Amino acid sequence: MNDQRLDPTLRAQALAQRYRDKKASVGVVGLGYVGLPLCLAAVNSGLEVLGFDIDPAKPQMLAEGRTYLRHLSSEVIAAAVATGHFRATADFSRLSEPDALLICVPTPLTVNLEPDLSFVVETAREIAKHLRRDQIVVLESTTYPGTTDEVLRPILEESGLKNGRDFFLGFSPEREDPGNASFTTSTIPKVVGADTPDALEIVQALYGNFIASVVPVSTTRVAEAVKLTENIFRAVNIALVNELKLVYEPMGVDVWEAIDAAKTKPFGFMPFYPGPGLGGHCIPIDPFYLTWKAREYGISTRFIELAGQINSSMPHHVVSKLALVLDMRCRVGLNGSRILVLGVAYKKNIDDMRESPALRLIELLEARGATVDFFDPFVPVIHRTREHAALTGRKSEPWSDDLAARYDAALIVTDHDGVDYHAIVEHAALVVDTRNVCRRAGIESQKLVLA
C-alpha cells in the first residue's frame, strides 16, 4: 500500500482504473462552445462533472435547466442536471474537488496578431492555488506547440507540486463543430497527448469514458500541433479557392461549377468553397499561433501568411463587387444606398458571431456611405465584440416575405437553412450571393449575382 501511495506510476494506474470504473470526477473550466458540450458528454457517460465559469449567470442558468447556446437545447441541459451528476459554479475555490480539470478557455489574438494566452494563464494561476496530488490537468484550448510545457506547467508547479510526481498534465485539442448534426462531441475522435506514459494512460482512460475513439500521440507538443495542422489545412485551401474565384471570374468560369465537377474525382481532390471571408474561433486565428511561434526558430511561414492575406481581403472584394453591380445594373452608387445583409453568424444555423466576416462587411459598407441593416434568424441582436464594438446592440430586422423590397440590394453572407431565398430574390432589386445558396436552392434570376 505504501508503494502505491508513493510511486507515481502505481498511483497513475490506480487513477486510470478509477476512470475506467467511472469512479473519478471531472471538472471543466470554461462553459462556452467547447466546455459545455464536453460537460454534457461526460455526464451522459455517468461521470460526475463540476463546471466552472467566471460568469456567474451561466451556472445559474444551467442549474435552472436553461441554455445560453442556441445549438444546445434547454431540454438537453435539464436532462443533464436531472441526473444529479452535473453541477456548475463560479466558485473557483472548488477546483480541488474534481480528479481531472479540463481547461476550455479562449485563446484569441492580440491586435498585432500575436497569441493572447491571458485566459490560459489566469486559469492556470487559479488552479495552482487549489491543485492537489493526483489531479490531472488537461488543456483543450488551441495554442502553439510548447504551451502546455512552457506556460501551463511552470505556473502549476508554483503550487509546490511537481508534474509527473504529484500531479499529471496533458493536452487534447478541442474539435467542436457547433451545429454539425453528423458529428457530436462523443463521436468526433479525440487526440490526446502527454509527456509521460503515466499521464497518457490517465488521459486515455478519462476521455475513453465518453469519446468513441481516442487517438494517443507521443507528446503534448504533437497534440498541440495536430489542431493547428487541421485548421491551417482548411485556411490554406479556402484561400486557394478564394483566389481561384478571383482568377476565374474574368475568364467567364464559374468557380462553384468547377469545384463541383472536380469533386467527382474519387481520389486526389477535396472540395473547399470560396466565401466572403473567414469566421469562427479557429480558422482565422489558429494559423497565426504557429506563425508567431515559428519566428522563435527563425522560420518564416510565408505560405500560411499569404493564405491569411487572401482570406482577410475577401470582404473588400465583396464590397467592390457589390458597388460595381449596383452601379452597372441599378444605376445606384454605394454611397447613399440601402443594403440588407443576410446572416451575421460566422456560419450557417448557429448564433456564433466570433470573427464573422459579416461584421467587417457592415463596417466597410457603412464607411463607403451605405445604410446597412441585417436579418439573421439566429442572431436577434449583435453582442459586443472586441473589434466591432460600434455594432453592439444592432437588431435584426423582422422577417417578412417582401423584406428585401425596401433595399437597393440584398447581400447574402451566411447561408442559413430555413430562409426563404425565393422570396428574397423575388422582391429584391439586386441579390449578391457570396455562398452560392440561391443556385443551390434552384433559383435562377437576372437579379442574382455571385460574389
Contact 120, 47 (CB under 8 A): no
Catalytic residue selected from 39, 282, 330, 438: 282
As a whole number of angstroms, the distance between CA 235 and CA 422 comes to 31
CB atoms within 10 A of CB 72: 16
Annotation says 330 is catalytic: no
Residue with cell string 463541383: 260
**What CA–CA distance (Å, rounded) separates 346 from 344?**
6
Question: Could you give phi then psi for residue 388, rounded to 5 degrees?
Answer: -130, 45
Is residue 275 a contact partner of residue 435, using CB atoms and an 8 Å limit?
yes
Q: Give CA–CA dist 36/57, Å, rounded.
A: 14
Q: Which three cell numbers stand for residue 379?
A: 442572431
Q: What is the DSSP letter of 250?
A: G
Length reported for the chain: 451
Cβ atoms within 10 Å, residue 234? 17
**Rounded Cα–Cα distance for residues 414 and 397 (Å):** 15
The catalytic residue positions are: 282
